[in-house]
Amino acid sequence: MTAENVFQRTKTYLQNMIKAGKLGRKEWEGCNNLENFDTTTWIERPTKLIKTVRWIPPDTGCNIVRGFIRKVTAASALDAELQALSLGLEMVTGRGRKVWIESDSKEVISLIQLNKPGPAHLRHQTTFIRNKLKEVVAKYSHCYNVGNKAAEYAAKLGSPENGQQEFDRDTAPAMIKALVRMDQLNMPNFQFLRH
């Protein structure tokens, strides 16, 4: 193998690394030999932005009133959100007239609040929710899932059994109590975004 072959193979390898986004401006800093490479394909890696997200707790002083953990089988994220809302409304039936519905899905809030029909395969679910909402005075809000860490944790956890695990402030899982305590102390949550 000649020196020219080694140079050509190295150049090809480096060019492929540039095209793949593995070598960018930062890696070539201080190098004066860039005229041998096609740098028009440089892919700059996106930088991450950190956004502070604070959860605004309900009027209860941020105490756990009731909660539940349950695995759901859903055809889509919207289906899962509507199922969770239905289960929550079932749980509060007979426990008072004021309900605060908060979701990380703007679509769910819009669907319910604006009385939109929604997808055909979920209309039975939205009809059930609307009928339940006739029994209460509801307030609606959207919060990114990273804003309400306790709800995000419960949603990911699912029930250890096949049934539903309900809890109040005394029987809540320790991690949920800890996350709610962080909210009581007004600790921020962070959302990492690609820029």
Q: 119-136 b/e with 16+ CB inside 10 Å = b?
A: eeebeebbeebeebbeeb
Q: What is the mean pLDDT of residues 166-195?
A: 85
Q: Evaluate if pTM is beyond 0.95.
A: no
CA–CA distance, 171 with 34 (Å, rounded to integer) = 64
Higher pLDDT, residue 34 or 179? 179
**Is a pLDDT exceeding 60 seen at residue 182?**
yes
pLDDT tens figures, 93-118: 888 788 889 899 999 999 998 888 88
- Report which of 69, 58, 128, 130 is spatially closest to residue 98, judged by C-alpha positions: 58
Residue entry with tokens 């028009």: 40
Q: Ramachandran region of residue 186, left (φ > 0), alpha (ψ -120 to 50) or beta? A: left
Q: What is the mean pLDDT of residues 107-136?
A: 91
Q: How far is CA 110 from CA 61, 69, 102, 140, 191, in A?
A: 26, 24, 12, 9, 23
**Cβ–Cβ under 8 Å, residues 84 and 72:** yes
Q: Report the pLDDT value the prediction gives residue 192, as an integer from 0 to 100.
A: 75
Q: Classify residue 133 by its DSSP letter.
A: H
**Is a pLDDT exceeding 80 seen at residue 44?**
no
